[in-house]
């Protein structure tokens, strides 16, 4: 568990943002000016070893899951931690949150009744929700086991571009509709015993609401089931996926919508939390969303900016006014402006790949890793590496591939060349695919970096050089939970105030690094070579 608290007196009102991410559950409290005053987290692997996960998940070939009850227990632990830190829960005006995208939770028949009416404040959630899920291990975004279901959806709807035009993305293995389809086919009994399917985000909201929370438009865009323009369930896609799915999904709502309880009354925090922790009875629950949309809110992204998130997955996203769904990348509903969109690229080989090279080349030390970046030349003397330890999402390819300056395959690199090849390769890949989406990166662009690795200036320097643009960061590396806290306030005020006005007093960005003078010269041609090599690798598989 890690915590931080600044000395300022806890002012009132406060807004709570949560993030159910891949490796941890995080909480951020902000004051009325949206300044962060407290944060804490529960690390799934370290703080909940009884679930036996590595990095918050279980991998079994291409099937990747997380124990649903681990997230429940993490919620108990997080709140206990906040109580031990003497947080005055009665000052929290509203709560919102985010979750790793695409993961799914299968609530057993009768669980709504337990959530709404039977939670005993003397017991933990973990004790009381033991028997509430039909699938104990929730499939998560790293899963790539549904290629058959993806083909089925694309065949039924007229091909990959047709699925992208309708839902914002072609069929992807991790997208929830394809995951549900697999469960419908392989575990039909469980599917029938399930009364509600939540995303990780709406599952988190349900725990606090004491009822099934609606899925929001932005996270709903990551399912291959939502009509991206109409923002309604796409019946053709539902029909293709599973029988009776519409009822199990509930309604869709805007990402900053105050939720309802039992579809009628205002969605205040469940009385369980009022009695157990001292929350005020009128603490409003605002829809939770995906971690990437929440990050867009946390970074206060504007047109022209590009955000690069360096967490368990690496993602790149930009604000879009007009959706142009393509075979590559995703278009999601924008979480703060209901008529706009965001484009997202997801790279599976993010932090785990960096940690793997750190461990094999630098004895597990980020300091040695950084020394390797400092001691090697920009452009790595023409050496290029592609490090897809797990099947990559963008592009669909696997394996570690190293090339010398002549473009010939080589078996290995020296340790420091390997470190630079990894980081340059990761960022050249991001630049190539962002440019494929039509994004023009230039000296006037701002790169907003976030996620755990954004704490590392040497890594950010390579990012700045490859993108040839200045990089900015926020005080917190966790833009998702911060964005959720912003949305908590936005949700209360949205009828009278735009998101831009809500966040106008939020802490400014910090300038982190600027590109070196030779950056454009070095990386424009190297990125061109990288692009050709990556295409060669992807086409040969
Ligand atoms: P997520 O939200 O996806 O669970 P985070 O954004 O919190 O993940 O990022 C966690 C990752 O940050 C860790 O896996 C670790 O590899 C990386 N990280 C933390 N500190 C550093 C550092 N100094 N340099 C590079 N990476 C770091
Ligand atoms: C986005 C994606 C990941 C997860 C986990 O499409 O799969 O970024 O949201 O962070």
CATH of residue 529's domain is 3.30.420.40
**Mutate-to-test residue for ligand 1 from 55, 453, 512, highest number of ligand atoms within 8 A of CB:** 453
Q: Is 44 helix (H, G, I), strand (E, B) or coil?
A: helix
Residues touching ligand 1 (Cβ under 6 Å) are: 21-24, 311-312, 351, 354-355, 366, 451-453, 455-456, 459
Same domain for 330 and 284? no
Ligand 2 and 24: CB distance under 6 A: no
216 CB near ligand 2 (under 6 Å)? no
- Distance, CA of 38 to CA of 253 (rounded, Å): 29
d(CA 351, ligand 1 centre) in Å = 6
Q: How many whole angstroms from 467 Cα to the centroid of ligand 1?
A: 21
| Distance from the alpha carbon of residue 100 to the mean position of ligand 2, in angstroms | 6
Q: Which of 258, 292, 326 represents a domain boundary (last residue)?
A: 292
Q: What is the pLDDT of residues 429-462, one digit of tens each?
A: 999 999 888 777 766 789 999 999 999 999 999 9
Q: If DSSP states are collapsed to H, E and C, what string results for 290-346?
A: EHHHHHHHHCCCCCCEEEEEECCCEEEEEEECCCCCCCCCEEEECCCCCCCEEEEEE
Asked if residue 366 belongs to a domain, the reply is: yes
d(CA 522, CA 404): 16
Cα–Cα dist 531/64, whole Å: 29
3 state SS of 405? coil
Residues 253 and 365 in one domain: no
Q: How far is the CA of 346 from the centre of ligand 2 (A)?
A: 6
* Measured distance CA(27)–CA(2) in Å, rounded: 11
Atom of ligand 1 at shortest range from CA of 312: 3
Whether the CB of 291 sits within 6 Å of ligand 2: yes
Which mutation among 452, 454, 462 tests ligand 1's pocket best, with the greatest number of atoms within 8 A of CB?
452
Using CA atoms, how far residue 417 sits from 24, 326, 352, 414, 423, in Å, is: 32, 35, 19, 5, 10
Q: Are 454 and 460 in contact, with CB atoms under 8 Å apart?
A: yes
The answer to whether residue 17 sits within a structural domain is: yes
| 383, 519: one domain | yes
Tell me, yes or no, whether 484 lies in a domain: no
Report yes or no on whether pTM surpasses 0.85: yes
**Ligand 2 in reach of 473 Cβ (< 6 A):** no
DSSP label at residue 455: G
Cβ–Cβ < 8 Å for 94, 150: no
Q: In this structure, what are the phi and psi dihedrals at residue 281, rounded to the nearest 5 degrees?
A: -60, -25
Tally DSSP H helices, then E strands, for the chain.
21, 28
Q: Which of 172, 224, 315 to mutate to test the pocket of ligand 2 (most atoms within 8 A of CB)?
A: 315
Q: Beta-carbon neighbour count of residue 505 at 10 Å?
A: 12
Find the 490 Cα to ligand 1 centroid distance in Å.
28
How close is the Cα of 232 to the center of ligand 2, in Å? 22
CA dihedral in degrees (356, 362, 368, 370; nearest 10)? -40
Is residue 221 in contact with ligand 2, taking CB distance under 6 Å? no
Based on the domain organization, do 144 and 233 belong to the same domain? yes
312 Cα nearest atom in ligand 2: 10
Specify if 204 maps to a domain.
yes
Number of domains comprising the chain: 2
Burial 492-502 (b: 16+ CB within 10 A, else e): bebeeeebeeb
Separation between Cα atoms, residue 271 and residue 321, nearest integer Å:
40
Residue 482: inside a domain: no
* Index of the ligand 2 atom closest to the CA of residue 393: 7
Cα–Cα distances in Å, from 210 out to 134, 254, 290, 434? 19, 20, 20, 40
Which ligand lies nearest to the CA atom of residue 350 in the structure?
A: 1
Tens of pLDDT, residue by residue over 499-537, are 999 999 998 889 999 999 999 999 999 999 999 999 999
Q: Is 101 in the pocket of ligand 2 (CB under 6 A)?
A: yes
Same domain, 334 and 407: yes
- Tell me if 494 is assigned to some domain: no
Nearest to 292 by CA among 331, 251, 324, 253: 331
Last residue of a domain, one of 242, 266, 292: 292
Rounded distance from Cα 145 to ligand 1 centre (Å): 26
> 71 and 158 in one domain?
yes
Residue tagged 């804490």 (tokens): 40
Ligand nearest to the CA of 355: 1
- Cα–Cα distance between 455 and 110 in angstroms, integer? 45
Domain that holds residue 421: 300-475+509-541
Specify the residue for token string 């019946």.
235
Q: What is the pLDDT along the chain (541 residues), one digit of tens a residue?
A: 555 554 343 458 999 999 999 999 999 999 999 999 999 999 999 999 999 999 999 999 999 999 999 999 999 999 999 999 999 999 999 999 999 999 999 999 999 999 999 999 999 999 999 999 999 999 999 999 999 999 999 999 999 999 999 999 999 999 999 999 999 999 999 999 999 999 999 999 999 999 999 999 999 999 999 999 999 999 999 999 999 999 999 999 999 999 998 888 899 999 999 999 999 999 999 999 999 999 999 999 987 889 999 999 999 999 988 888 889 999 999 999 989 999 999 999 999 999 999 999 999 999 999 999 999 999 999 999 999 999 999 999 999 999 999 999 999 999 999 999 999 999 999 999 998 887 777 667 899 999 999 999 999 999 999 999 999 998 887 899 999 999 999 999 999 999 999 999 998 889 999 999 999 999 999 999 999 999 999 999 8
Same domain as 312, residue 219: no
Q: Identify which ligand lies nearest to the alpha carbon of 452.
A: 1
């Amino acid at each position: 568990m890690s915590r931080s608290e600044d000395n300022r007196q806890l002012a009132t009102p406060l807004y709570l943002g949560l993030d159910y991410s891949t490796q941890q559950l995080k909480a951020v409290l902000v004051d009325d000016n949206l300044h962060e005053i407290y944060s804490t987290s529960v690390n799934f692997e370290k703080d909940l070893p009884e679930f036996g996960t590595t990095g918050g998940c279980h991998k079994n070939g291409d099937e990747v899951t997380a124990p649903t009850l681990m997230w429940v227990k993490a919620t108990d632990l997080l709140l206990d931690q906040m109580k031990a830190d003497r947080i005055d829960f009665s000052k929290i005006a509203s709560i919102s949150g985010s979750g790793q995208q695409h993961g799914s939770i299968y609530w057993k028949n009768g669980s709504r009744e337990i959530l709404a009416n039977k939670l005993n404040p003397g017991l933990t959630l973990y004790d009381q929700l033991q028997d509430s899920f039909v699938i104990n291990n929730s499939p998560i975004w790293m899963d790539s086991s549904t290629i058959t279901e993806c083909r089925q959806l694309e065949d039924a709807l007229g091909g990959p571009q047709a699925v992208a035009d309708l839902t914002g993305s072609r069929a992807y293995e991790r997208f929830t509709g394809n995951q549900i389809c697999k469960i419908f086919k392989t575990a039909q009994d469980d599917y029938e015993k399930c009364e509600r399917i939540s995303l990780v985000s709406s599952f988190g909201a349900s725990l606090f609401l004491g009822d099934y929370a609606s899925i929001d438009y932005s996270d709903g865009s990551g399912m291959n089931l939502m009509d991206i323009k109409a923002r309604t369930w796409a019946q053709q896609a539902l029909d293709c996926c599973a029988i009776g799915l519409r009822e199990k999904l509930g309604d869709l709502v805007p990402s900053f919508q105050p939720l309802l309880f039992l579809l009628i009354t205002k969605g205040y925090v469940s009385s369980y939390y009022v009695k157990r922790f001292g929350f005020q009875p009128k603490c409003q629950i605002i829809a939770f969303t995906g971690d990437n949309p929440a990050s867009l809110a946390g970074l206060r992204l504007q047109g022209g900016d590009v955000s690069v998130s360096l967490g368990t997955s690496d993602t790149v996203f930009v604000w879009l006014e007009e959706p142009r769904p393509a075979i590559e990348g995703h278009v999601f509903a924008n979480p703060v402006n209901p008529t706009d969109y965001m484009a997202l690229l997801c790279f599976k080989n993010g932090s785990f790949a960096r940690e793997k090279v750190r461990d094999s080349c630098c004895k597990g030390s980020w300091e040695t890793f950084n020394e390797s970046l400092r001691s090697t030349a920009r452009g790595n003397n023409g050496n290029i590496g592609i490090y897809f330890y797990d099947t990559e999402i963008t592009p669909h390819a696997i394996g570690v591939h190293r090339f010398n300056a002549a473009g010939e395959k080589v078996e290995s690199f020296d340790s420091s060349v390997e470190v630079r090849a990894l980081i340059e390769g990761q960022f050249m890949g991001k630049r190539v695919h962002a440019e494929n989406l039509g994004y023009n990166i230039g000296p006037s662009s701002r790169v907003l970096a976030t996620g755990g690795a954004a704490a590392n200036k040497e890594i950010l320097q390579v990012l700045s050089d490859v993108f040839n643009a200045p990089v900015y960061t926020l005080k917190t590396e966790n833009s998702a939970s911060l964005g959720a806290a912003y949305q908590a306030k936005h949700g209360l005020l949205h009828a009278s105030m735009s998101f831009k006005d809500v966040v106008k007093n939020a802490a400014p960005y910090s300038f982190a690094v600027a590109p070196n003078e030779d950056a454009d010269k070095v990386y424009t041609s190297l990125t061109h070579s990288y692009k050709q090599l990556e295409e060669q690798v992807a086409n040969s598989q």
